[in-house]
Amino acid sequence: MDADQARTTLMTQHATIRASLEACGALTARFLAGEPVVQELEVAVQDLRREIALHNETENALVRVMLVRTARWGSQLIDRMVEEHRGEHDAMWALLTGSINDVAPRFSELVEELDAHMAAEERTFLAPHVLRPDVIERHG
């Protein structure tokens, strides 16, 4: 997979996660208002967990493969990604851990954190001017 395909894959996953966040947010609001949507919400949150896990695995594999071919510039980006993402991912997983009764009250915090996380990725290593074959090769 080349850099353009990797970027497209990861950006598509971001769109999927954002759609799931919206769906979970709506169900969470209904749940917190006392509506009997617990089963729907549990399924939606489980789907979101899977989407985030898949994205994290895909992101680490694809970006690492794209950038590992480069010299110092690539290893710096990889090191930054791993260091920053580990802490961010751990914090987000903590918000998604537990029963629906645990997750629902902190769901708005998760949405805020995850949206900021994806936006930062899109501004940095997923930016079109960074994750491109010619840019990666030029810095190699």
**The pLDDT of residue 5 is above 80:** yes
* Banded model confidence at residue 85, pLDDT cuts 50, 70, 90: confident
Q: Domains in the chain: how many in total?
A: 1
* Overall pTM surpassing 0.75 (yes/no): yes
DSSP H/E element including 48: helix 38-68
Alpha carbon distance 79, 85 (integer Å): 10
pLDDT tens-digit series, residues 87-125 = 888 888 999 999 999 999 999 999 999 999 899 888 887
**The pLDDT of residue 128 is above 70:** yes
The one-letter amino acid code at 80 reads: R
Answer whether 9's CB lies under 8 Å from 58's CB: yes
pLDDT tens-digit series, residues 13-38 = 999 999 999 999 999 999 999 999 99
The percent of residues above 70 in pLDDT, for the chain, comes to: 81
Query: What is the pLDDT, as a whole number, of residue 137?
Result: 53
Query: What is the pLDDT, as a whole number, of residue 32?
Result: 98
Angle between helices 107-123 and 3-32 (to 10 degrees): 160
Say which residues have a Cβ less than 8 Å from residue 139's Cβ, sequence separation at least 6: 70, 71, 73, 74
Alpha carbon distance 66, 126 (integer Å): 11
Query: What is the pLDDT, as a whole number, of residue 139?
Result: 45
Alpha carbon distance 117, 79 (integer Å): 17
By residue range, what is the domain housing residue 90? Answer: 3-138
